[in-house]
Amino acid sequence: MSKDKHFYLGRLRDLKAGKTSKTDLMYDPDDLVTHGVVFGMTGSGKTGLCIDILEEAALQKIPALVIDPKGDITNALLHFPELRPENFEPWINPDEARREGKSTAQLAEQTAAIWKQGLAEWGIGPERIRALDEAADFAVYTPGSTAGLPVSILASLAAPDLDWAGNQEVIRERIASTATAILGLVGLKDIDPVKTREHILLANLFEYAWSAGRDLKLEDLIRQVQNPPLEKIGILDLDSFFPARERAALALKLNNILAAPSFQAWLQGQPLDIAQLLYTPEGKPRHCIFTLNHLAEAERMFFVTLLYSAVETWMYGQKGSGSLRAIVYFDEIHGYLPPVAAPPSKAPMLRMLKQARAFGVGQLLATQNPVDVDYKALSNAGTWFIGKLQTERDKERLLDGLEGAQHSNFKRADYGRIISGLGKRVFLLHNVHEKEPVVFETRWAMNYLPGPLTRSQIPELNSLKGKKSAPAAPSRAASQAKGGADKEKTKMDEITLSKPIAPSGVQEVFMPAGLSLEASAQANRRELPAGAKRVGYVYRPALIAQAQVRFSQRKYNLDSEMHKAALVDYLDGRTLRWDDFESEPVDERRLEARPLEDASFAELNGALADEKQLKNLEREFSDWVYRAGEAQVWANDDLKVYGGPELSREEFLRLTQAAADAKRDDEIEKASKQIEKKLDALQKKLAKYRLGLSQKEQRASDRRLEEYGTHAENILSLFLGRRRTLTTSLTKRRLTSEAAANVEATKEEIKQLETEAAALNEEAKSLVDEIDARWDEVAQRITQISVQPTRSDVFVSLFGIVWLPHHLVDVGGRSVEIPAFQA
């Protein structure tokens, strides 16, 4: 492993021999100034490669902003210099351990040994992992949630720190992106900055404020939508362009977002200030991971657009640089940079691809879907990491993209052969800064890679790096009802042997005590000391809420149900964020109507003891389900084929393929009839000519025989002096020649007809291939449509108090509670 400033990504691999060499693959980070793209199917090692790159960037003191739609890159905080089993154990999947017949401790010990050996084989020791841990400030941010570090979007509405007079174009691009993101969040689709009047209005309001150097608060924006400080938009007066009633409707949509309890998390936490996100106040580089898997699609698009716009604006305030100054890594760009559609994220991403290199800001974009990305945009990338692909179609589409990029050292056939031979963790590196492509195997990641982490694990993950999540609203992840921390000491003065009386009309149910004491201790990562003794059960109250959302739309072939549930074991009187307490629905048939005998109970307090508050909470829950509930319908508008969320993409693809096959067959049949008609005419003509040829050949043969006979007579005539016989001979010879010429002419005509027939057959084959390929491509045009429910589609099936059983354990005179249920 080299000691220079290059990134150590792996070792060169000989595909023919199937062996990895001892030669390290060292990548110049400055090559990433011209951006990089990473392709690879699930299981290809794409995530591992990208984490390797982030590790190397951290070691070189290069900051990174990471957009993590699926939660995979949260693994970038799991580096343990000591590689002890206890480092790994909190992140071991209990289900995986159970499948292997091991305890989590046993699997952690095995995993630690595997990681230690793997790193050693790649020449990486504890000192390098320790250097990584100390090189950068690592943190996981959860926009729209307080599970991790929240992100405040208010900075995105503040006037950019750029002079308006000299940067109007840049600031207007920021305005366009911000307005598009906000409108996308309230549900507007197909937003065109020069046609959509909602966008034009917001853009004018932003420009009015920012051109004067004034920040624009969200509350101010909503008020100004209703009563703009403008008399005209363009040459039209305001009300002609956008009537007051319709502006009020837009203001109401914006206000609904602001008023929603779940939106409050967007207004607290780390400002979206790029300078602060790249470096600590002490100048230490930061690696900020923005995980988005808890957000709805519109919210993810909203945040990605704002982040890219903020980076772009910050960038224009920097001096130019040919060295890598920072990395913006996007773990899955599918849907954010499509070839045809124009989602809000596309414009700032395109501008960054074209212009960021001048400022030393490198983009690293990854996808497992090579088909639905904009290769014209990706042609700006100088580095392509290509891993194992899912289908031949993926490979061909990627090769088309590389070919379109017009890279000088690209040879399609060679690249196609190499890509077909790639295996797990083996990548083809195409770098315009190098003469030839290379194939390499990625090195072992210094970070433990257990896969996507849940929102409940984010606080513990951040605590590894000394970060604390926002205290404003306790995360569902940290709650006891999810099987989190047990109560170390029970307050006995809150316990009663009689069940407290619930408010009138409030439903009560009892969660079954499905776990033994030993199973409860294991599930909650508790060690029971010798002498620990269960002395009974204690029930603690929580709020349980469950609802069904019915989706039925004949147009989209949609007839399905969605279930939403929340288990709230912490009510402190503040606004309840239902997102933080969302849980898997409980089978209501499992719930019991009576408590266990001889159990004790905690008191009912706060909202759980107040009928009016509970009714208000039920309305809020129903509203949350209505807002959060949406069905993703598979759609192929070209074929008019639709499918509900119960279908996988592969299942829906089979439906579209069948529909496309039917269309293809109809078109082929129609085209075939026309060609067959021409072929029939040619065949008849050929038959006629072939018959004529046979007759002409017979006549020619007869003429030759006659000529031979006449020739014999001519010899005799020479002796007898008959001149007439000689004349007849000449005539016979002429007729024979004419007959032979007729035969040859007919043969030529037959040959021409056969050539035409062959051409028609070839035309038919080409036409069939073209039709087949075209309908194959149509079948692949799959999108997803979000279908919102109506309020009448939401049915709250259960709302009330659930009593959660806990083992009450005596541990050396201390009373300890451990949850005895599985939520």
Indicate the average pLDDT of the chain.
Answer: 86
Provide the residue type at 84 as one letter: R
In this prediction, residue 500 carries a pLDDT of: 82
Segments in 629-648 forming alpha helices (H): none
Closest C-alpha to 581, from 596, 571, 591:
571
What span, in angstroms and rounded, lies between the C-alpha atoms of 583 and 546? 9
- pLDDT over 90 at 823, yes or no: no
Among 338-347, 643-652, 712-721, which range has the highest average pLDDT? 338-347
- pLDDT over 60 at 485, yes or no: no
φ/ψ (deg, to 5) at 418 = -65, -45
Tens digits of residue pLDDT in 236-258: 999 999 999 999 999 999 988 88
Count of residues making up the chain: 823
Segments in 260-381 forming alpha helices (H): 274-278, 297-316, 346-355, 375-378
In this prediction, residue 111 carries a pLDDT of: 96
Closest C-alpha to 368, from 33, 690, 46:
46
If you average pLDDT over residues 613-617, what whole number do you get? 91
In this prediction, residue 478 carries a pLDDT of: 34
Asked whether the beta carbons of 325 and 311 are under 8 A apart, the reply is no
In this prediction, residue 649 carries a pLDDT of: 86
Q: Return the H-helix or E-strand segment holding 324.
A: strand 321-330
Tens digits of residue pLDDT in 488-503: 444 444 677 668 878 8
Q: Give 710 or 457, the one with higher predicted confidence.
A: 457
Q: How far is CA 256 from each of CA 139, 219, 427, 627, 708, rounded to the nearest angstrom?
A: 31, 12, 48, 10, 109
- pLDDT band of residue 598 (cuts 50, 70, 90) is confident
Residue with tokens 């390499």: 440
Asked whether the beta carbons of 467 and 139 are under 8 A apart, the reply is yes
Q: How far is CA 635 from each of CA 26, 43, 632, rounded to the nearest angstrom?
A: 44, 27, 9
Asked whether the beta carbons of 577 and 570 are under 8 A apart, the reply is no
What span, in angstroms and rounded, lies between the C-alpha atoms of 171 and 303? 18
Share of the chain above pLDDT 90, in %: 48
Tens digits of residue pLDDT in 362-388: 999 999 989 889 988 899 999 999 999
Asked whether the beta carbons of 629 and 794 are under 8 A apart, the reply is yes
Share of the chain above pLDDT 70, in %: 88
In this prediction, residue 488 carries a pLDDT of: 41
Tens digits of residue pLDDT in 557-581: 777 788 899 999 877 666 788 888 8
Residues 6+ apart with CB under 8 A from 47: 72, 73, 75, 331, 449
Tens digits of residue pLDDT in 85-101: 999 999 998 888 888 88
Q: Give 352 or 754, the one with higher predicted confidence.
A: 352
If you average pLDDT over residues 431-448, what whole number do you get? 95
Tens digits of residue pLDDT in 621-660: 999 998 877 778 888 888 888 887 778 888 889 989 999 9
Q: Give 344 or 726, the one with higher predicted confidence.
A: 344
513 — alpha (psi -120 to 50), left (phi > 0) or beta? Answer: beta
Q: How far is CA 475 from each of CA 39, 146, 186, 628, rounded to the nearest angstrom?
A: 35, 7, 26, 18
Strands 36-39 and 19-27: unpaired
Query: Two tokens at 656?
Result: 């579209």
If you average pLDDT over residues 611-628, what whole number do you get? 90
Tens digits of residue pLDDT in 761-799: 777 788 888 888 889 898 899 888 878 788 888 999 999
Provide the residue type at 104 as one letter: T
DSSP letter for each residue of 505-533:
T-EEEE----S-HHHHHHHTT-PPPTT-E
- Return the ∠ at Cα 68 (arms to 344 and 579), rounded to 5°: 85
- pLDDT over 80 at 3, yes or no: no
Query: Two tokens at 203?
Result: 């853009």
Residues 6+ apart with CB under 8 A from 237: 231
If you average pLDDT over residues 679-686, what whole number do you get? 74
- pLDDT over 50 at 487, yes or no: no
DSSP letter for each residue of 438-471:
EEEEEPPPSS----PPPGGGHHHHHHTTT----S
Tens digits of residue pLDDT in 111-136: 999 999 999 999 999 999 999 999 99
In this prediction, residue 200 carries a pLDDT of: 96
If you average pLDDT over residues 594-608, what whole number do you get? 87
Residues 6+ apart with CB under 8 A from 418: 15, 428, 437, 439
Query: Two tokens at 698?
Result: 């017979």
Q: Give 46 or 733, the one with higher predicted confidence.
A: 46
Judged by average pLDDT, the poorest of 448-452, 717-721, 751-755 is 717-721
What span, in angstroms and rounded, lies between the C-alpha atoms of 812 and 489? 12
Query: Two tokens at 20?
Result: 């990895």
Tell me the β-bridge partners of 447: none
If you average pLDDT over residues 50-56, what whole number do you get? 98
- pLDDT band of residue 532 (cuts 50, 70, 90) is confident
If you average pLDDT over residues 456-466, what whole number do you get? 92
With 0-12 / 13-18 / 19 or more C-beta atoms within 10 angstroms meaning exposed / middle / buried, residue 300 is buried
- pLDDT band of residue 467 (cuts 50, 70, 90) is confident
**Cα 592 to the center of its chain, rounded Å:** 41
Tens digits of residue pLDDT in 161-210: 888 988 999 999 999 999 999 998 888 888 889 999 999 999 999 999 99
Cα-only R_g, the chain: 37
If you average pLDDT over residues 39-64, what whole number do you get? 96
Handedness of CA 642, 644, 645, 646 (dihedral sign): negative
Q: Give 76 or 771, the one with higher predicted confidence.
A: 76
What is the model's pTM?
Answer: 0.59
Distance linking the first and last C-alpha atoms of the chain? 49
Closest C-alpha to 278, from 328, 352, 330, 218:
328
**Cα 309 to the center of its chain, rounded Å:** 20
For 240, half-sphere exposure in the C-beta direction (CA atoms, 13 angstrom radius) is 7
Tens digits of residue pLDDT in 312-329: 999 999 999 999 999 999
If you average pLDDT over residues 544-561, what whole number do you get? 83
In this prediction, residue 585 carries a pLDDT of: 92
